[in-house]
Amino acid sequence: MAETFRAAHPGEVAILDGIAGIAPGFDLILCDVWGVLHDGVHAHRAAGEALTRFRALPGERPRRVVLVSNAPRPGSAVQAQLDGFGVPRSAYDAIVTSGDLTRRLLAERAGAPMHHLGPDRDLPVFDGLDLERGGPEDAAHVVVTGLLDDEAETAEDYRARLAPWAARGVTLICANPDLVVERGERLIPCAGAVAALYEELGGSVVYAGKPHIPVYEAALAAAEGLDGAGPLPRDRVLAIGDAIRTDVAGARAFGIAALLVARGIHAEELGVAAGAPLGDIAHWLEAQAVHPDGVIDLLRW
């Protein structure tokens, strides 16, 4: 049951081979995408299989999976990417992204000039919105979706660009709070790293996505709206992700259980980057500000 999966201390964190043993204790899984369902290049087939099997479990209400991603694009764009990787649609019921939350924030600020900082691949986040686009000098707020060249740049390359906005009191909307994301065997910097530097410069940042509560509220509402079966108790909800700072911290703040996938962005820290088995991670967990209820090397049934 879900109650037995709760960890109060790093020494109590369960090390799992698969989720079959804990799955019956939950009605909803809020699952991360990058680092769990795929590595930015290839799908993790076992993860898609595990979520599909979870959705097929019998119960008092249908078992649901909502993918919760910090992608700075709408859920429809993420679904198209998942299709391309070969992630089965049987693995999930809905997708909620930080891009979806960003669109809501932009709709609230439709009358003020907006400037976009990020690559063109993120432009779908603005589709269909009535926005006043402005240059960097006259923007009332800046939307950062990522680095222009995340293969070569770091957040530090943007210091000179960010400083005038911070001095002028421009609000930065961060459409992807992740600091890094997996791309194959590399970690690629994300918009969250730029936002962190902006705060260091004294700028004000509004974050869309994990670990902030609104994205979890949106995901829970999406799941509850599928069946009309009434509110889902939070002790029946499990978050799965590969990042302590976003996935686990967000789950903790929202009051739900958390399962950390080790072979994601923390793979090197946990000593599993080169395919080594997951060993004793108590010391690493002890050093973290928040702790998961369980750790698994890769999501599998």
**CATH classification of the domain holding 201:** 3.40.50.1000
Percent residues over pLDDT 90 in the chain: 79
Examine residue 79 and state whether it is found in any structural domain, yes or no.
yes
Domain check: are 215 and 89 in the same one?
yes
* Same domain (yes/no): 142, 203: yes
Q: What are phi and psi of 213, to 5 degrees?
A: -60, -40
- My answer on whether 196 and 216 are in the same domain is no
Q: For position 294, what pLDDT does the model report? A: 95
Q: How many domains does the chain have?
A: 2
Q: What band does 1 get if pLDDT is binned at 50, 70 and 90?
A: very low
The pLDDT of 97-111, averaged and rounded, is 93
CA dist 168 and 189 (Å) reads 26
Output the pTM of the full model: 0.90
Mean local confidence (pLDDT), 243-249: 95
Partnered with residue 206 across adjacent β-strands are 173
Given a contact cutoff of 8 angstroms between Cβ atoms, the answer to whether 180 and 265 are in contact is yes
Query: Both 83 and 152 in a single domain?
Result: no
Which pLDDT value is given to residue 230?
85
Phi first, then psi: what are they for 227, rounded to 5°?
A: -120, -20
Question: Does 301 reside within a domain?
Answer: no
**Other CB atoms within 10 A of residue 202 CB:** 10
What mean pLDDT comes out for the span 243-251? Answer: 96
Q: Is the CB of residue 260 less than 8 Å from the CB of residue 248? A: yes
Lowest mean pLDDT among 56-70, 227-241, 260-274: 260-274
pLDDT confidence tier of residue 280, bands split at 50, 70 and 90: confident
Are 117 and 201 part of one and the same domain?
yes
Please tell me whether residues 95 and 215 are part of one structural domain: yes
